[in-house]
Amino acid sequence: MRHDHLITSKQLSRTDIETVLDRAAEIDADRAAVADRHAGTLLGLLFYEPSTRTKMSFETAMKRLGGDIVDMGAVESSSVTKGETLADTVRVIEGYADALVLRHPKQGAATMASEFVDVPLLNAGDGAGHHPTQTLLDLYTIRENAGLDDLTIGIMGDLKYGRTVHSLSYALSNFDTRQHFISPESLQLPREVVYDLHQAQDGTQIREHDSLEEILPSLDVLYVTRIQRERFPDENEYQQVAGEYQIDPETLEDAADDLTVMHPLPRVDEIDPAIDDTDYAAYFEQAHNGVPVRMALLDLLLSDARGEDDE
Amino acid sequence: MRHDHLITSKQLSRTDIETVLDRAAEIDADRAAVADRHAGTLLGLLFYEPSTRTKMSFETAMKRLGGDIVDMGAVESSSVTKGETLADTVRVIEGYADALVLRHPKQGAATMASEFVDVPLLNAGDGAGHHPTQTLLDLYTIRENAGLDDLTIGIMGDLKYGRTVHSLSYALSNFDTRQHFISPESLQLPREVVYDLHQAQDGTQIREHDSLEEILPSLDVLYVTRIQRERFPDENEYQQVAGEYQIDPETLEDAADDLTVMHPLPRVDEIDPAIDDTDYAAYFEQAHNGVPVRMALLDLLLSDARGEDDE
Amino acid sequence: MRHDHLITSKQLSRTDIETVLDRAAEIDADRAAVADRHAGTLLGLLFYEPSTRTKMSFETAMKRLGGDIVDMGAVESSSVTKGETLADTVRVIEGYADALVLRHPKQGAATMASEFVDVPLLNAGDGAGHHPTQTLLDLYTIRENAGLDDLTIGIMGDLKYGRTVHSLSYALSNFDTRQHFISPESLQLPREVVYDLHQAQDGTQIREHDSLEEILPSLDVLYVTRIQRERFPDENEYQQVAGEYQIDPETLEDAADDLTVMHPLPRVDEIDPAIDDTDYAAYFEQAHNGVPVRMALLDLLLSDARGEDDE
């Protein structure tokens, strides 16, 4: 990888993605080998929005590489309350850390911030924008369970607002994939995303559906996302729609035996807990994969920043 | 110790307790010997309720063993606000850490959570339920100051709602102890706790009092707890009751010279600061003992989890 | 340095200051040499008020020396909400850490707290009181950019309420300095501070101005502080006053080419971002200097506490 910053999954070529996933697999197979690899390195965490798993998994990744973190803490107890700009904050914290992780509610925040700092900056989500490390751990999970080429994937739920889904779809278009999008009409993929996917060089195949039933048997992977109550003005409409896009053992009766069910978590009631102990369930594994994937990314960026070979 | 999880002090036999306390004494005598013993180990902290000393002392314990922590942070800035269940949260965080510490406002939460994870889980307090590591550091402090056998202890204050008191009493019933309970009538020990203590195999002796005066001279240890204002509908009644269960130099005039005064802290005005510099006071020592005791526990559980001998 | 605690910059002699700054320069020149120097050391952080840069830079400093921190966390999630006194809290946390850092809203808090603990305590700001580590990093930045002797410095903005300014002025009076104070009349330096500065043994020269214009050309350093909106009952008056004490490229037309512009940050609009990329700007460097200066301080205090030579 030859990037100073990781802002969007769009910047990642197929080769970039494979470099990260290969390194993650290496690390996952022998974590002890890298346990001191970045001793003395400090990762600065700037989370302007709540996050459990992204933040903890970055923290875990850095510590599993022998490094440590310095955390800005919650926005309410920071200088942000005194009116400091993001540009100033990142320039100050850059002086403490060897790399930065930024989550911010405003789209474009990571791009803007990256222009002010010399250390590598990783975007951990910028509003409706991008969340590339989520995409990479999704890709890693898909590759481990079903492979990334000749893949048939269903992506279901809120496809309109979900940045996770958009990032994943763009990244999958680097591979030989058939992508089926399943959602209520009001939560369909934005037209510009559909357009972009059709333009993607490797010609991934795209189809949209309003029901899972017809394409379920053909799927290798079913990626479920949450439909948020607050998207619906009417509670009854929400109840009706949400109910149709929930997964339980009955729903999966026609699925292939080796179907992999994924979810970026947290879930509310999109997936029945009865699925958790079946072979279908890969969503906790998926969350756990955040660690080796972020270890791989940090390792590549930090080694790069020090002028080392990428190995 | 042969337990995967530590949920309640009731699960601890006299041998278990002695194993932990012996290991704590060993560690306390030579901390340098274990300074790198668990290098690379990550302890996951899940505190759903505020805590200063319990959380910091677990963190200190893990770091004094060469390990580190990953902290879920405050509930307000976590996925809990998105409606995630405790079962899902612990299963995700299990992927980051080698052991978990859980504090939760609901009784039974630790038991439930432990059923979903494979790594050792330590209960750091579950509502009105249990708080076994507090009990172990109390026992350690008692043993260091007065010994655990042939012990006469007074336990005073709010005996009705105090989980600390109930856990301690159960654990002490493994030893040859005379337990005196001193409280206003409205805050007496719950009848089922009294019943359980009478049933305890080693036949610890139990007596209840409404005043300290008569039994003070016979005590080796006086364990004071806070009487909470909010238990009383009437402010005047609170003032009157609370005043009778406060300790100052005058109160202790008839105490044995080697009396040990303990308190789980934080105190408000149950113990006059004039006691702090006397030989009676053991409450800061007690708080500090949280470190070697939790180091011992973590060491035993983590060594056990790795299949090592207990040493 | 032969101090157990660092409470105020007033306690620091010229020799003390030079010892810290020299050690900071040594460390800054070769950080790798101290990367494991305090391995196993834990620094306790007690921040009763929000802080980004002070807290993170103490954390960074300790970690860059090979140590780690234990953080009390936000006051809302601590035992402070249960009514615990500061004296009790520091005595408990003393049992976890090898040194303590305290920020507290009440003037005098650090002095009081230091009387209850045996480990070194560093004041990281006590209300309108002192903030000596800020002063040391300011002095370090001045020395690196302009030298501390034969210095002409302008200090501008809110001189009435700014503890940063008072501490810096006292410390500078140990050196051969000409100090110019520029502020609106309502935010002038308190008379007792002026009196103290006139009494200072080394006879630093003091002058007060209501405009920057006349003395700008003579300045080696211009130290800008924020004028807070809430000091003014009338919004119009604030706008007028604040506007006169803002720095932009036009303001600096008559400045010396080697003028150094400093600011303790966070800034709001006291310094135009157009200055950021000029050679005048030293405020981000100043923030970054918090790390080597605090590393030096911790190194000196911890080595001292262990009975080592100061090197």
pLDDT of residue C81: 65
Q: For residue C216, tell me if it sits in a domain.
A: yes
* B vs C: CB pairs below 8 A: 72
Neighbours of C152 (CB within 10 A): 16
Q: Does C233 lie at the interface with B, CB-CB under 8 angstroms?
A: no
Q: Quick check: C152 and C218 in contact, CB under 8 A?
A: yes
Residue C310 lies in a domain: no
Residue C53: the pLDDT is 87
Is the pLDDT score of C126 beyond 50?
Answer: yes
Regarding whether C280 and C145 lie in a shared domain, the answer is: yes
Chain A touched by C217 (CB under 8 Å): no
Contact C80 B52 (CB under 8 A): yes
Same domain, A89 and A183: no
d(Cα A122, Cα A99) in Å, to the nearest integer?
Answer: 8
Does a structural domain hold residue B310? no
Let me know: does B86 contact B60? Beta carbons within 8 Å: no
Give 3-state DSSP helix, strand, coil % of chain A, rounded to 5.
45, 15, 40
Contact assessment for residue B251 and residue B213, using Cβ atoms and an 8 Å cutoff: no
Q: A1 lies in a domain?
A: no
Look at strands A42-47 and C99-104 and give their pairing.
unpaired
Tokens encoding A205? 């195949």
Number of domains observed in the structure of chain B: 2
C170, C143 Cβ separation under 8 angstroms: no
Low-confidence residues of chain A, pLDDT below 70? 1-3, 77-81, 201-203, 307-311
Q: SS3 sequence, C257-301?
A: CCCEEECCCCCCCCECHHHCCCCCECHHHHHHCHHHHHHHHHHHH
Which of C47, C50, C56 shows the shortest C-beta gap to A93? C56
In chain C the first and final C-alpha atoms are separated, in Å, by 10
Is A134 labelled a binding residue? yes
Note which residues in 135-154 of chain C have CB less than 8 A from chain B: none
Question: Does residue C291 register a pLDDT over 50?
Answer: yes
B63 in any annotated domain: yes
Contact between C48 and C24 under an 8 Å Cβ cutoff? The reply is no
| Contact across the interface for C266 and A42, Cβ inside 8 Å | no
Q: Specify the 3-state DSSP secondary structure of B209.
A: strand
Cβ of B79 within 8 Å of Cβ of A287? The answer is: no
DSSP for A235-302 reads HHHHHHHHHHT-B-TTGGGGS-TT-EEE--S--SSSB-GGGTTSTTB-HHHHHHTHHHHHHHHHHHHH
Distance CA A117, CA A43 (A): 14
What angle in degrees, to the nearest 10, is found between the helix axes of B132-145 and B14-29? 70
> CB-based contacts of A147: which residues, under 8 Å, 6+ apart?
A220
Chain B, window 75-134: residues with a beta carbon less than 8 angstroms from a chain A beta carbon:
76-84, 87-89, 91-97
Measured between CA atoms, how close is C75 to chain A, in angstroms? 10
Return the pLDDT at B310. 43
pLDDT tens per residue across span A205-215: 999 999 999 99
Residues C69 and C187 in one domain: no
**C53 carries an active-site annotation:** yes
Could you tell me the residue range of the domain that residue B98 belongs to? Answer: 9-130+290-305
Lowest-confidence range among B160-174, C73-87, C102-116, C123-137? C73-87
Mean pLDDT, all residues of chain C: 91
The verdict on A71 and A204 lying in the same domain is: no
**Which residues on B lie below 8 Å from A268 (Cβ)?**
82-84
Calculate the CA B15 to chain-centre distance. 18
Helix axes B132-145, B163-172, angle to 10 degrees: 60
The pLDDT of residue C161 is: 84
User: If we measure between CA atoms, which residue out of C134, C123, C58, C44 comes closest to residue C91?
Assistant: C44
A278 in the same domain as A301: no
pLDDT above 90 coverage of chain C, percent: 75
A231 is in an annotated binding site: no
Identify the CA nearest to A287 among candidates A130, A134, A154, A122.
A134
- Domain membership of residue A310 (yes or no) is no
To the nearest whole Å, the CA of B70 is away from the closest chain A CA by: 6
> Which tokens in the block code for residue C139?
């002095």
Ligand-binding site membership of A190 (annotated): no
Strand partners, B281: B261
- Domain check: are C97 and C153 in the same one? no
| Dihedral (Cα; A92, C153, C300, C99), 10-degree rounding | -60
| Nearest CB neighbour to A81, from listed C50, C53, C284 | C50
- Determine, for residues C284 and A92 on separate chains, whether the beta-carbon distance falls below 8 Å: yes
pLDDT for residue A3: 62
Active site residue A54: yes
Tens digits of residue pLDDT in C180-238: 999 999 899 999 999 988 887 666 899 999 999 999 999 999 999 998 887 788 888 88
Residues A117 and A39 grouped into a single domain: yes
For B51, the closest chain C residue by CA position comes to: C78
Residues A169 and A203 in one domain: yes
In a domain, B3, yes or no: no
Same domain? C282 vs C295: no
* Residue C3 reports pLDDT greater than 90: no
Mean pLDDT, rounded, for C156-183: 92
**Which helix (H) or strand (E) segment is A206 a member of?**
strand A205-209
Say which CATH number the domain at B275 has.
Answer: 3.40.50.1370
Asked if the Cβ–Cβ distance from B60 to C89 is below 8 Å, we say no
Chains within contact range of chain B (3+ C-beta pairs < 8 Å): A, C
A73 touches chain C (CB under 8 A): yes
Of the residues B5, B55, B64, B103, only one is catalytic, namely B103
Tell me the pLDDT of chain B (311 aa) as tens digits: 446 899 998 889 999 999 999 999 999 999 999 999 999 999 999 999 888 889 999 999 999 999 999 999 887 766 666 778 999 999 999 999 999 999 999 999 999 999 999 999 999 999 877 899 999 999 999 999 999 999 999 999 999 988 789 889 999 999 999 999 999 998 999 999 999 888 876 668 999 999 999 999 999 999 999 988 877 888 888 888 888 899 999 999 999 999 999 999 999 889 999 999 999 999 999 999 999 999 999 999 999 776 654 44
Return the pLDDT at C74: 81
Q: Do C92 and B52 touch (CB under 8 A)?
A: yes
B23 is an active site residue: no
The pLDDT value recorded for residue C311 is 40
Q: Is B266 annotated as a binding residue?
A: yes
Same-domain status, A70 and A150: no
- B125 and B266 share a domain? no
Regarding whether A298 and A157 lie in a shared domain, the answer is no
Does the residue A49 lie in any domain?
Answer: yes
pLDDT at C309 over 60: no
- A240 labelled as ligand-binding? no
Pull the structure tokens for residue C238. 């604030």
